[in-house]
Amino acid sequence: NGKNLNKAVRDYVPSSLHYHHTLNNIKIGLSDIIGKEKIKSELAKVIASFKKKTLAKRLGLKRHNLLVFEGPCGTGKTFVVKALAGELKCPLISISAKDFMDSGPKRALSSMISYAKRFENSIIFLDEAEKIIGRHSMDEDAMYDGILNETFDGVNSATNAIIIFAVNNMGKFGLGFSDRFLSIRFELPNIKERREFCHNMLNKAQKMADMPLDYDEIARATEGKSFRDLEKMCNYALS
- Say how far apart CA 182 and CA 44 lie, in whole Å: 13
Phi, psi of 120 (to 5 degrees): -55, -55
| Residue 1 confidence (pLDDT) | 43
pLDDT band at 153 (very low <50, low <70, confident <90, very high): low
Give the mean pLDDT of 125-141.
Answer: 69
What are the Cα distances from residue 198, in Å, to 27, 203, 209?
21, 8, 12
Q: Does residue 27 have a pLDDT over 70?
A: yes
- Say how far apart CA 17 and CA 168 lie, in whole Å: 26
pLDDT band at 163 (very low <50, low <70, confident <90, very high): confident
Which tops the pLDDT comparison, 150 or 142? 150
Per-residue b/e over 49-75, b at no fewer than 16 CB within 10 Å? bbeeeeebeeeeeebbbbbbbbbeebb
Mean pLDDT of the chain: 78
Q: Does residue 32 have a pLDDT over 70?
A: yes
Q: Does residue 148 have a pLDDT over 90?
A: no
SS3 of 148-183: the string is HHHHHCCHHHHCCCEEEEEECCHHHCCHHHHCCCEE
| Residue 55 confidence (pLDDT) | 58
Give the mean pLDDT of 137-156.
Answer: 57
- pLDDT, one tens digit per residue, over 61-120 is 565 788 999 999 999 999 999 999 999 999 998 887 777 767 667 777 777 778 877 887
| Residue 33 confidence (pLDDT) | 96
What DSSP character marks residue 62?
P
Q: What percent of the chain has pLDDT over 90?
A: 34
Which tops the pLDDT comparison, 178 or 146? 178
- Do residues 67 and 46 lie in contact, with contact meaning Cβ atoms separated by under 8 Å? yes
- Do residues 174 and 145 lie in contact, with contact meaning Cβ atoms separated by under 8 Å? yes
| Residue 154 confidence (pLDDT) | 57
- Say how far apart CA 146 and CA 140 lie, in whole Å: 10
Which among 24, 28, 29 has a CA at the least distance from the CA of 47? Answer: 29
| Residue 161 confidence (pLDDT) | 83
Give me the sheet containing 66-70, strands edge to edge: 21-23, 92-95, 123-126, 162-167, 66-70, 182-185
- pLDDT, one tens digit per residue, over 175-224 is 666 777 889 999 999 999 999 999 988 887 756 656 778 999 999 999 99
| Residue 15 confidence (pLDDT) | 46
What does pTM read for this prediction? 0.81
